[in-house]
Amino acid sequence: MDIIVKKKEKTDPQLGKALDERTVQELIEFGCINLDKPAGPTSHQASDYVQRILGIEHAGHGGSLDPQVTGVLPVTLERATRLSEVLLKSGKEYVGVMHLHKDVDEKKLRETIKKHFVGKIMQMPPVRSAVKRQLRERTVYRFDILEINGKDVLFHVECQAGTYIRKLCSDLGDKLGIGAHMLNLRRTRAAQFVEKDVVTLQDLQDALVLWKEGNETFIRHCIKPAEKMVEPLPKIWVFDSAVESICHGRDVAVPGVSQLNPFDAGATVAVMTLKDELVALAIARMNSADVVQQEKGIAVKTNKVFMKAGTYLV
């Protein structure tokens, strides 16, 4: 996203801390893990395993996966657990195998997908789901057939959050008049978290042992600063002098803004220090153009504070 500079100012090196200067313990207290969820446990159980491995009190996750589904599961640690909801509305990608109950012409299969299962679709959540069972609109951005082996179809789907892939497969089978079901599924992306960067529970366990032996390289690979969770959000960077009041719940006034991304009024915005530390999540009261042009007023209304009070106390 573009960065609009309203007023440039340097940050005091004695206040706060650049992300790459955080200790491992600080990462554990306010960090996230791109976990490769194994088949078997629920998403809640997987985050509970992380909690037990690290010996912490809190761990959450951003977007549930069925027990037998594997792949990308962002896990938030300690003070970062309240950031999990940021990912709930973010797009997801999957690779899976669908089994057709009868033979069907490949051309018909591809045409049916293109005509009825790409773009805006109506979907009824399955019986076992976390939401109310009523028809709701979802968007499927891509639904590609990668390979066909008899009645088994390897596919790739990119979709809006809350799209049930198991239901997508069965609905496609119904539309074809032959029936179909999902054999297996792997999530390859959840928002900015991608498959190539995942770590396993065993990786995390090994990294913890190495860290306690004096080698922190691997655990820094496993645990990232919590700020990674807000990468998709527009941001507003504030002066050092404004941070402490925001930590106490004050809204962000226009005079405290140094630079910002473009955003509309009503958008969820991440409030950042000039060292790129997350201070809070907020709701924009103005659009970004007005923040740049105005000299006073409330730019964003503070919603959830994450930075500890006193971090920028002069």
Q: Which residues contact 290 (CB under 8 A, 6 or more apart)?
A: 265
The pLDDT assigned to 127 comes to 61
- Specify if 313 maps to a domain: no
pLDDT along the chain (314 residues), means of 10: 93 96 98 97 96 96 91 97 87 97 96 97 76 82 97 97 93 97 97 96 98 97 97 97 97 97 97 98 97 96 96 89
Same domain, yes or no, for 101 and 11? no
The pLDDT assigned to 97 comes to 98
CA nearest to 308, candidates 51, 15, 12: 15
- Specify if 294 maps to a domain: yes
Same domain, yes or no, for 164 and 248? no
The pLDDT assigned to 133 comes to 66
The DSSP call for residue 264 is -
Q: Are strands 278-284 and 268-272 parallel, antiparallel or unpaired?
A: antiparallel
Catalytic positions, written as ranges: 66
- Specify if 58 maps to a domain: no
CATH classification at residue 173: 3.30.70.3190
Instruction: Tell me how many domains the chain contains.
Output: 2
Q: What are phi and psi of 284, to 5 degrees?
A: -65, 130
CATH classification at residue 272: 2.30.130.10
- Specify if 166 maps to a domain: yes
- Specify if 122 maps to a domain: yes
Same domain, yes or no, for 235 and 186? no
Q: Which domain holds residue 180?
A: 92-190
Segment 299-313, tens digit of pLDDT: 999 999 999 999 999
- Specify if 98 maps to a domain: yes
How many C-beta atoms lie closer than 10 Å to residue 308's C-beta? 11
Q: What is the pTM of this model?
A: 0.91
Q: What are phi and psi of 185, to 5 degrees?
A: -150, 145
